[in-house]
């Protein structure tokens, strides 16, 4: 599934993650009347994915200014990876700080090739990183 039709909505952006995500789903669905899409829930990563039939329908989601409790709901576009890219998922870093974890990743993998990106779940506007659960 390419990135042109699949968008994610992280639950972390809502103070009341679970309830906030459910409420946001209802709000978003009102803005997508007449649009065909599938919702995929990722409970482990606390993300809702919207998968659209048409690229133009997906663009409606991104272009709309959709708010919950006066705050814009943020969506992100998923990535379609090339065949020669290897994705390595480190399930958690609960006992190690983020900078040490990045140093370990770099020391172990830089010899194998180029590191394009290292991503971690973080609270917006802070230096707080969240281990996956």
- The rounded mean pLDDT for the chain is 78
What is the average per-residue pLDDT within 5-9?
85
* Cα-to-chain-centroid distance, residue 25: 15
Give 53-109 pLDDT, tens digit per residue.
888 888 888 777 787 888 888 888 766 655 566 666 665 666 778 788 888 888 877
Half-sphere exposure of 123 (CA within 13 A, CB side): 7
Would you state the pLDDT for residue 78? 65
Among 14-18, 32-36, 112-116, which range has the highest average pLDDT? 32-36
47-52 and 6-10: which strand pairing? antiparallel
What is the average per-residue pLDDT within 112-133?
75
119 token code pair: 């991503």
How would you class 110 by CB atoms within 10 Å of its CB: exposed for 0-12, middle for 13-18, buried for 19 or more? exposed
C-alpha 62/C-alpha 78 separation (Å) is 12
Give 35-47 pLDDT, tens digit per residue.
889 988 888 888 8
| Stronger pLDDT, 49 or 1, i.e. the higher one | 49
85 token code pair: 């890219």
pLDDT-derived band at 1 (thresholds 50, 70, 90) equals very low
Using the predicted structure, report yes or no on whether residue 29 has a pLDDT greater than 50.
yes
Would you state the pLDDT for residue 132? 57
């Amino acid at each position: 599934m390419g990135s042109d039709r699949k968008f994610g909505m992280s639950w972390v952006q809502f103070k009341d993650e679970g309830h906030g995500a459910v409420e946001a789903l209802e709000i978003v669905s009102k803005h997508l009347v007449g649009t065909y899409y599938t919702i995929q829930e990722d409970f482990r990563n606390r993300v809702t994915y919207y998968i659209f039939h048409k690229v133009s329908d997906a663009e409606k989601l991104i272009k709309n200014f959709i708010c919950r409790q006066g705050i814009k709901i943020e969506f992100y576009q998923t990535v379609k990876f090339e065949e020669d890219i290897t994705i390595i998922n480190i399930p958690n870093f609960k006992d190690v700080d983020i900078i040490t974890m990045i140093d370990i990743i770099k020391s172990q993998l830089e010899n194998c090739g180029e590191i394009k990106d290292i991503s971690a779940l973080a609270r917006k506007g802070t230096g707080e990183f969240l281990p996956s659960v």
